[in-house]
């Protein structure tokens, strides 16, 4: 029991939070709690110190006729001036903003001061009681009782300081009472013990509850500001840091940078390896990013795979760039997740304050625009915001606005690019490719407006229009000709596409087997979960599915097995280089072999030369598509092409 009490008090005096049910090693939390405790004490310290000074003078007056008068005067002058000094100091320190952290040393200083003041009062009964008149003895008794109660109240949240202040007064009273054998003093001693125990108990109960409350409050605040997965600050904390940085900018002109990061292909990783692996990936990324920054700066996770950093006190923009480089370098080594090596990459966008803005909205928007350009330039790119970026963002928004009414204004149209079947040497079908005739900009390529349509959700409306238009064109063509329509991943998020397709086929009165849907690999991987049911329903209708741009995505062969695909389209980049680069030729050959083994069709995209066509014939490719066979053409040219005796390319070959 004694050793338990001993260790309890040792821990109590050492400022160990465990005695209050808090974490014993969390110095930051302990510092916060000390700050709260000290602030509370400082709150009423001026009044208490004034009371101390006043009491000291009352005592001096009470002892005016005692033999100890001079001693009492010296004592009272020392205590009154000491108290006034402490009181004034406490009061002026309170005017400065409330601290977030108070060190152990500051707390020790407070305890030391409490001990000095308590000792000064403890001297009173020992030094002045015996020779005092009855009236003065009454004053001393009242003063000691009052100081005990006042001290316990003032330090009610800091038991160590309460003990440091009251213990000398108890001790002085005990010595004083013990020296006098009178029975009445024994009764007074009993009263003092009861009184003291109640006070101390009150202090402990109160301080315990106070600390617990602060711990709970701080933990709640921490939870609100922390991302539970990576333990990095979250968006709320980030916004607060940004607000603080902006306040410092306004007050002292301190410049800073906002860095935004976005992981490349995170969603693909997430869907390919599963959510737990995606989470683990984020945790590892967070750990690496955390190591890139200075101690006082914290990378925050502000979105699914978005991270951000405020770089305070920026002297040169190059410093922000260097941190960006460190972030990029942090992805150099692959991540080992569940035994698989995952290669990550990031782009970084940087906005500088005040150069690129002085509001949270402007800075974040500009960092985001810079990030957009970085991501477009490829993995590992770091871009500062540039005024021209703003222009391209505005252009994008303008494009978006214009696209909204494009269908109604009849500005969209389809062109058709033929497929040539190499065995029968005949046109087997056409791919419908979308075009936008903008009234001012002229012809806008799909690579520019399809992403905008995807971002805004306009793709659903546009996609439906394309299916209807392609099916109605198909109804004019011979039965052995098919039409291929490109679908974006976003379209598979809308089950309406199924109904639209059924309707379009019915209205045009064409067999579903003549409609082919082109999807890309990345779409399969990123949205496979929700896409699969829609895709399967389409397949059940009898519609066929081709895998477009094969070789440019994740190239997961699993999907070739999982989905009943009817065709693979080898991406044009391989066809372009296959005659010069043996590795491209090897890929082309093996994809053709693979398709044959799986008993599905294979199309070579982007055939531009007769040599390419000849090579593909020799490697037994089923079909080819490209400028050599035919450029994308208007619907009214198709029947003429089909009526030609032999396709142009074969004549040339």
Q: Please choose, out of 61-69, 102-110, 443-451, 640-648, the segment that lies near ligand C2E by the rule CB under 6 A.
A: 443-451
Measured distance CA(632)–CA(430) in Å, rounded? 9
Interface with ligand C2E (CB under 6 A), residue from 347, 380, 553, 606: 606
Measured distance CA(575)–CA(285) in Å, rounded? 37
Find the shortest distance in angstroms from Cβ 213 to ligand C2E. 58
Residues that bind Mg ion (rule: CB under 5 A) add up to a total of 5
Find the shortest distance in angstroms from Cβ 228 to ligand C2E. 37
Helix axes 104-128, 69-95, angle to 10 degrees: 160
Using CB under 6 A as the binding rule, whether residue 172 contacts ligand C2E is answered as no
Q: Which residues pair with 482 in a beta bridge?
A: 429
Choose between 307 and 430: whose C-beta lies nearer to ligand C2E: 430
Using CB under 6 A as the binding rule, whether residue 501 contacts ligand C2E is answered as no
Measured distance CA(607)–CA(629) in Å, rounded? 8
Residues 610-629, interacting with ligand C2E (CB under 6 A): 626-627
Residues 299-338, interacting with ligand C2E (CB under 6 A): none
Interface with Mg ion (CB under 5 A), residue from 518, 521, 622, 623: 518
Using CB under 6 A as the binding rule, whether residue 447 contacts ligand C2E is answered as yes
DSSP 203: H
Choose between 60 and 483: whose C-beta lies nearer to Mg ion: 483
The one of ligand C2E, Mg ion, none whose footprint includes residue 434, by CB under 5 to 8 A per kind, is: ligand C2E
Position with the least CB separation from ligand C2E:
626
Residues 458-497, interacting with Mg ion (CB under 5 A): 486
Closest CA to 203 of 427, 65, 37: 37
Q: Which residues pair with 544 in a beta bridge?
A: 516
Residues 503-532, interacting with ligand C2E (CB under 6 A): 518
Report the chain's C-alpha Rg in angstroms. Answer: 40
Beta strands 382-384 and 346-353 are parallel
Find the helix or strand (DSSP H, E) in which 180 lies: none
Interface with ligand C2E (CB under 6 A), residue from 368, 464, 548, 622: 548
The one of Mg ion, ligand C2E, none whose footprint includes residue 232, by CB under 5 to 8 A per kind, is: none
Closest CA to 324 of 280, 371, 282, 358: 371
Helices (H), 226-273: 235-252, 266-273
Find the shortest distance in angstroms from Cβ 652 to ligand C2E. 14
CB neighbours of 287 closer than 8 A, spacing ≥ 6?
Answer: none
Residues 565-624, interacting with Mg ion (CB under 5 A): 605
Using CB under 6 A as the binding rule, whether residue 549 contacts ligand C2E is answered as yes
Using CB under 6 A as the binding rule, whether residue 434 contacts ligand C2E is answered as yes
The one of ligand C2E, Mg ion, none whose footprint includes residue 85, by CB under 5 to 8 A per kind, is: none
Choose between 280 and 516: whose C-beta lies nearer to ligand C2E: 516
Kindly provide the residue ranges of all beta strands, DSSP E only, lying in 76-226, ordered along the sequence. none
User: 159 to each of 37, 91, 154, how far by Cα in Å?
Assistant: 10, 22, 10
Q: Evaluate whether 403 touches 379 at the Cβ level (below 8 Å).
A: no
Helices (H), 408-567: 446-456, 458-474, 496-508, 521-526, 528-541, 558-562
Interface with Mg ion (CB under 5 A), residue from 549, 553, 563, 607: 549
The one of Mg ion, ligand C2E, none whose footprint includes residue 202, by CB under 5 to 8 A per kind, is: none
Residues 460-499, interacting with ligand C2E (CB under 6 A): 466, 486-488
Residues that bind ligand C2E (rule: CB under 6 A) add up to a total of 21
Over the range 459-486, which residues count as b (16 or more CB within 10 Å of their CB) and which as e? bbebbbbbbbbbbebbeebeeebbbbbb
Choose between 366 and 569: whose C-beta lies nearer to ligand C2E: 569
Residues at the site binding ligand C2E, with contacts judged by CB under 6 A: 417, 433-434, 445-447, 450, 466, 486-488, 518, 548-549, 572, 606-608, 626-627, 632
Residues at the site binding Mg ion, with contacts judged by CB under 5 A: 486, 518, 548-549, 605
């Amino acid at each position: 029991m004694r050793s338990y009490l001993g260790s309890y008090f040792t821990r109590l005096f050492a400022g160990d939070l465990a005695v209050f049910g808090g974490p014993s090693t969390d110095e930051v939390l302990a510092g916060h709690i000390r700050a709260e405790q000290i602030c509370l004490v400082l709150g009423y310290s001026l009044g208490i110190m004034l009371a101390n000074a006043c009491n000291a003078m009352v005592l001096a007056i009470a002892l005016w006729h005692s033999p100890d008068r001079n001693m009492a005067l010296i004592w009272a002058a020392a205590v009154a001036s000491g108290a006034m000094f402490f009181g004034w100091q406490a009061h002026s320190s309170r005017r400065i903003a409330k601290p977030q952290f108070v060190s152990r040393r500051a707390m020790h200083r407070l305890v030391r001061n409490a001990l000095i003041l308590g000792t000064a009062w403890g001297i009173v009964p020992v030094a002045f009681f015996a020779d005092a008149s009855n009236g003065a003895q009454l004053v001393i008794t009242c003063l000691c009782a009052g100081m005990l109660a006042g001290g316990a109240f003032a330090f009610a949240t800091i038991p160590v300081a309460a003990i440091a202040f009251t213990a000398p007064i108890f001790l002085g009273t005990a010595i004083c009472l013990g020296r006098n054998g009178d029975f009445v003093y024994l009764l007074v001693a009993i009263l003092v013990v009861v009184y003291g125990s109640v006070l101390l108990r009150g202090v402990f109960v109160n301080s315990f509850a106070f600390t617990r409350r602060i711990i709970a409050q701080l933990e709640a605040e921490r939870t609100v500001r922390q991302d539970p997965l990576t333990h990095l600050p979250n968006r709320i904390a980030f916004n607060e840091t940004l607000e603080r940085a902006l306040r410092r900018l306004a007050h002292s002109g301190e410049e800073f940078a906002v860095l935004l990061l976005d992981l490349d292909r995170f969603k693909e990783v997430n869907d390919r390896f599963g959510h737990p692996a995606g989470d683990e990936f984020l945790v590892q990324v967070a750990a690496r990013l955390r190591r890139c920054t200075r101690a006082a700066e914290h990378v925050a996770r502000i979105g699914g795979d978005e991270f951000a950093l405020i770089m305070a006190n920026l002297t040169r923009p190059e410093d922000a760039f260097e941190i960006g480089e460190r972030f990029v370098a942090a992805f150099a080594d692959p991540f080992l997740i569940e035994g698989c090596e995952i290669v990550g990459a990031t782009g970084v966008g940087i906005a500088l304050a005040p150069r690129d803005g002085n509001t949270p909205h402007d800075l974040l928007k500009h960092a985001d625009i810079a990030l957009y350009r970085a991501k477009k330039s490829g993995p590992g790119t770091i871009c500062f915001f540039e005024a021209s970026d703003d222009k391209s963002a505005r252009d994008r928004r303008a494009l978006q606005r214009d696209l909204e009414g494009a269908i109604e204004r009849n500005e969209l149209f389809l062109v058709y690019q033929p497929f040539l079947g190499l065995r029968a040497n005949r046109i087997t079908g056409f791919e419908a490719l979308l075009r936008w005739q903008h009234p001012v900009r002229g012809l806008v390529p799909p690579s520019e407006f399809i992403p905008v349509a995807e971002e805004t959700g306009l793709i659903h409306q546009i996609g439906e229009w394309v299916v209807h238009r392609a099916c109605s064109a198909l109804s004019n063509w011979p039965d052995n000709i098919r039409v291929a329509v490109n679908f974006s991943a976003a379209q598979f998020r809308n089950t309406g596409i199924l109904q639209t397709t059924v309707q379009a086929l019915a209205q045009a009165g064409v067999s579903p087997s003549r409609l082919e849907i082109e999807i890309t690999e990345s779409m399969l991987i990123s949205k496979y979960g929700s896409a699969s049911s829609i895709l399967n329903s389409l397949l059940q209708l009898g519609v066929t599915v081709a895998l477009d741009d094969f070789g440019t995505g994740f190239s997961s062969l699993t999907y070739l097995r999982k989905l009943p695909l009817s065709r693979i389209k080898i991406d044009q980049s391989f066809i372009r280089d296959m005659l010069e680069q043996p590795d491209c030729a090897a890929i082309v050959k093996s994809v053709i072999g693979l398709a044959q083994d799986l008993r599905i069709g294979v199309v070579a995209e982007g055939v531009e030369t007769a040599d390419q066509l000849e090579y593909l014939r020799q490697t037994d490719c089923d079909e080819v598509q490209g400028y050599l066979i035919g450029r994308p053409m208007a619907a009214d040219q198709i029947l003429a092409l089909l009526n030609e005796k032999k396709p142009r390319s074969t004549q040339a070959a």
